[in-house]
Amino acid sequence: MPILVLKEGTEHKTGKDAQKNNIAAAVAISEVIKSTLGPKGLDKLMVDNLGDVTITNDGATVLDEMQIDHPTAKMMVQLAKAQDEKVGDGTTSTVLIAGTLLKVAQELLEQGIHPTVITKGYNLAMTKALGVLESAAIKIPDADQKKVLKNLATTCMNSKGVLTEKEMLAGVCVDACLAITEQRDGKKVCDIKQIQIIKKEGKSVSETKMVAGIIVDKEVVSMAMPKRLENAKIALIDAALEITKTEFDAEVKVKDPTQMQAFLDEEEKMLKKMVDQIKAAGATVVFCQKGIDDVAQTFLAQAGIMAIRRVKKSDMDKLARATHARVINSLRDLTAGDLGAATLAEERKIGKDMMIFIEGCKNPKSVSILIRAGTEHVLEELERGMHDALCVVADAIESPAYVPGGGAIESELAASLRKYKDTYSGREQVAIELFADVLEIVPATLAENGGIDPVNTIVELRSKHKEGQKGAGINLFTGKVEDMLAANIIQPKVVIEQTLRSATEAASIILRIDDVIASRRSAGGPGGGPGGPGGMPPGGEDMD
């Protein structure tokens, strides 16, 4: 009798079947987003279960929107997410290289080469490529920092569908990143979480701008308060400007109306005292994280103070960094030294909403970008493009080195690896050469997406790099192989470095899998039977 080790209904694939299945799933994922690579890449239209439409060519977004069940395919999605979180760009290239590494490895597996030999060759090639990348990288000089950063942001935005305004948007991204850059332990740190992105539908992309301060998506609490104040003194209060109720049960007997009035008068005095404390500190704008009583609103309006209530904690933190104010928990602690400063505080109508603009902050360490576009889909894609550009600029500020784009650096690394393979005589040599061929999938795909013959392009690139033209790449706007450094088509070194590491590691992990055990998850709650025929329900796969 057969011995049943696994639960009934469990799918078990071993050996070459498991490897073929895994490689096919990974290659399928890379093929999906292949056509989105580069400035001539095409968009994907994604429709979710609710019918919401997303139009994008951002690799991480496309994969995130897809409903994927296969465990290996999910690993490719995680690879894209990791790349996006780490450096913010290069997601499509990473998945494409990883998928192609697996595709060519399939041929070696069929020739009887062991997976560990292939992964060893891949890792040797990656290590050598990282060394060549380090020597080929160009340091960003302090004198030309802003110019180089703008070129990096412009290159990143070439593929984001906003070509008409890319110069202006790149400038906005650079200004925002330079504003929030800080020195920590002798190193420059650019935390883009301190850049607040507000998107509002309406007007054109050209209306997008950076605000040297913070935009708060709230409105002034009272119509009687001023809507515009210059040279504002800003108080940030994490306390309620209202009479708090006692936390225990109490009973008060009132015998006549005068006693009741005395209670009301006393509450009013307490609220007046709160407002007087704010006024005495010299504040003209108050951001309150909690509520503001109606009576307190009246006193604030009489004092000519602008007040905004129920402000989010994240906005309070950004206001503190932008205006250099201190968030205080008790009005008794409020002094003039706790106040922040801004040249202008104003309530404005943006689209259909009223918003508070705090502008002209001196040396702000948190800033805002207001994104405008005519339609929701353009707005969403513009936000994704701006996020990638901000990440690229931040990467270059923290690791100030860049390499040529347009497939130039991949071609240079491939040329170096073909020389390097001759130092090995074993089967690893084959894997190293295949790794070099795989790197050329980036310029080949760029050419293919741009309507250029990929074979002729790769031949020309190989010829020019053999002659020592390290910056030779594809300029898709002219359709020719040119010097990318002269054309200012560049990208941060750290993005390529992360791409090489992530793609090689992902391919190595998947190649070493020779056993896939997928169990069916119970349908429904306790007592439910296994999933019905025709496959597993979403999320019902585990991998060992």
Active site residues: 58, 91-92, 388
Residue written as tokens 């010299």? 282
- 198 vs 383: CA distance, rounded Å: 9
Sign of CA dihedral 255, 257, 263, 269: negative
**DSSP characters over 260-315:** HHHHHHHHHHHHHHHHHHHHHHT-SEEEESS-B-HHHHHHHHHTT-EEE-S--HHH
Catalogue the long-range contacts made by 447-450 (C-beta closer than 8 Å, 24 or more residues apart).
Answer: 447/407, 447/474, 447/476, 449/35, 449/37, 449/38, 449/40, 449/41, 449/42, 449/476, 450/38, 450/39, 450/40, 450/474, 450/476, 450/479
- 60 vs 53: CA distance, rounded Å: 16
- 197 vs 390: CA distance, rounded Å: 11
Question: For residue 379, which amino acid is it?
Answer: L
Choose among 218, 202, 208: nearest CA to 390.
Answer: 208
- 173 vs 178: CA distance, rounded Å: 9
Q: Residue 199 is encoded by which pair of tokens?
A: 């998107």
HSE-CB for 367 with a 13 A CA cutoff: 26
Q: Residue 190 is encoded by which pair of tokens?
A: 């650019």
Q: CB count, 10 Å around CB of 3?
A: 4
Q: Note whether 339 and 281 are within 8 A (CB).
A: yes
Q: Note whether 536 and 522 are within 8 A (CB).
A: no
Q: Is 413 helix (H, G, I), strand (E, B) or coil?
A: helix
Residues of 416-447 as b/e, b for ≥16 C-beta within 10 angstroms? bbbebbeeeeebbbbbbbbbbbbbbbbbbbbb
